[in-house]
Amino acid sequence: MSDFGPQDLLECYARGIFPMSDARDDPDVYLVDPKFRGVLPLEGFHVPSRLARTVRKDPFVVCVDTAFPEVVRACAAAGPGRMDTWINAPIEQWYGELFARGHAHSVECWRDDELVGGLYGVTLGAAFFGESMFSRATDASKIALVHLVGRLIAGGYKLLDAQFMTDHLRQFGAQEIPRAEYHRRLQSALQAAGDFGALDAAVTGAGVLQLISQAS
């Protein structure tokens, strides 16, 4: 896929396809269109009560797009319970190019100027494709996800794609839907325009939870 670039990648996302590799050090990339797709509902997103209490305390400084390359690298790194990842060098480069074009974003959790958690994904129309997350402190990736959902709600997004269903995502109300239903929702979301920057960067955890509650 040496001639494959960021525009090709955006066209794949518009067709419901995303890239993966078998391992961090594997140079090959393949494209995936799962038979069943995990999605997180923006209307009806569930924040467990314990996590909601933590979010309100604002234990981290939550920022957007201040350390995108660092977030991708952290997501690509091996960690406890995750000996290898699917983010290889070509995929990392493509996401960096999408970020430069305004089609990829990161949400970061900072503590004492240290990046302790976050996530990143791709945006197209009113669809956000969540790619990966990482955590080096308790609840950091979960808090990043809650802030992401509040931001997507504020920006008028219609679809949050989680790719594959997991028990971790199930606690937030994630659903697994057939490919045809996902493609239908995707095409609808692509007809609208989401604004990732609609939410004030200084929003508190309480403010994010209020947005989520109003959308439920």
According to the 3-state scheme, what is the secondary structure of 82-113? ECCCCCCHHHHHHHHHHHHCCCEEEEEEEECC
* Cα R_g (the chain), whole angstroms: 16
pLDDT at 216: 78
Is 80's pLDDT higher than 60?
no
* Alpha-carbon gap, residue 83 to 214, rounded angstroms: 39
pLDDT at 29: 73
Cβ-proximal residues to 85 (8 Å cutoff; 6+ apart), any chain: 23, 24, 75, 76, 77, 78, 132
Residues forming beta bridges with residue 111, ordered by sequence position:
114
pLDDT at 176: 95
**What distances in angstroms separate CA 167 from CA 58, 131, 136, 158, one per listed residue?**
25, 16, 20, 23
Residues forming beta bridges with residue 130, ordered by sequence position:
121
Q: Give the mean model confidence (pLDDT) for residues 196-204.
A: 94
- For the full predicted model, state whether its pTM sits above 0.85: yes
Is 51's pLDDT higher than 50?
yes
Confidence of residue 83 (pLDDT cuts 50, 70, 90): very low
- Tell me which residue has tokens 């990829």: 104
Average pLDDT score over the chain: 91
Q: Give the mean model confidence (pLDDT) for residues 2-9.
A: 81
pLDDT at 120: 96
More confident residue, 4 or 117: 117
Q: Give the mean model confidence (pLDDT) for residues 63-87.
A: 79
- Tell me which residue has tokens 């990046």: 115
pLDDT at 148: 98
